A = this chain, B = another copy of it.
Amino acid sequence: MDTSRRGDEASETPAADLGKRARHRIAVEADILRVARRHLASEGAASLSLRAVARDLGMVSSGIYRYVESRDELLTRLIVDSYTSLAEAVRTAHDAVPPDDLGGRWSALGHALRTWALEHPHDFALLYGSPVPDYEAPAERTTEVGTAVVALLIALVEDARVAGRVPDPADAGIDASRASAAVGPMLDDAMFAGTDLDPVMLAQGITAWTLLLGAVTSEVFSQLGPVPDSAALFEVLLAASSRLIVISSPAR
């Protein structure tokens, strides 16, 4: 049905509207990812089963291999998907804050990260927990999308520098020469092209990020045992991390 198109059959398939085979394929691939995400959310990555996904889709178990190379490849797709979802959530929250409200931007970033992690614990575990079963993430496909949220952090640090609201590194126990040796070479990376960061500020940013991610990890995996008011504890940790990269009033 619905063959009402300028009948330029054969030859090119200009990716505009496709044959029923191609259409079916992208639909099935989307279905697989959708069902897999549902299974991931309810059961976790470790018990994700290709057979179960196929069963849910009403196809025979071997059929799914026409669309997915292997279980690991499905996991990779889920990782990319989760990174995208996380980056979008964080970016949306971040962009809703006025650019000159540096502290507010970091706070929004942190809260968005925490909220997303608590809402999608298994996705979070996939991204920031222990690497899955003898599965090494293929860097080409994950690092690029995985750096989206870190890019926000970098932009924030850069803006803090421009605004002269960078905290004194000595207050954070950061030694300039040490920091240079540790992260200096990282500044040559493509990610930092065009920025004007110095090693010390990058070190401060990494420290803040490490503390923030540690706080979220700790809560999602409940590493501290039962915490009476975990939201309040997060506020404390977030405030501490904030102090590492931006101070409330211009210094010096």
List residues of chain A with CB under 8 Å of any chain B CB.
43-44, 46-47, 125-126, 128-134, 143, 147, 171-175, 178-179, 181-186, 203, 206-207, 210-211, 213-215, 217-218, 221, 223-225, 227-229, 232-233, 235-237, 239-244
Contacts and interface: CB of A to CB of B under 8 A. Distances in A.
A172 B207 contact: no
Contacts of A214: 210-211, 213-215, 217
Contacts of A125: 130-131
Given A46-B133, A47-B133, A178-B236, 7 more contacts: A125-B131, A128-B221, A174-B236, A181-B229, A207-B236, A213-B218, A214-B214
A232 B174 contact: no
12 contacts: A46-B46, A147-B225, A173-B239, A173-B242, A174-B240, A178-B239, A183-B227, A185-B228, A203-B233, A207-B237, A210-B214, A214-B215
Contacts of A132: 46
B235 A178 contact: yes
Given A178-B236, A206-B233, A183 B228 contact: yes
A233 B128 contact: no
B46 A236 contact: no
A130 B183 contact: no
Contacts of A206: 224, 233, 236-237
A207 B173 CA distance: 14
A164 to B, nearest CB: 19
B240 A183 contact: no
A178 B232 CA distance: 7
A235 B183 CA distance: 11
A46 to B, nearest CB: 4
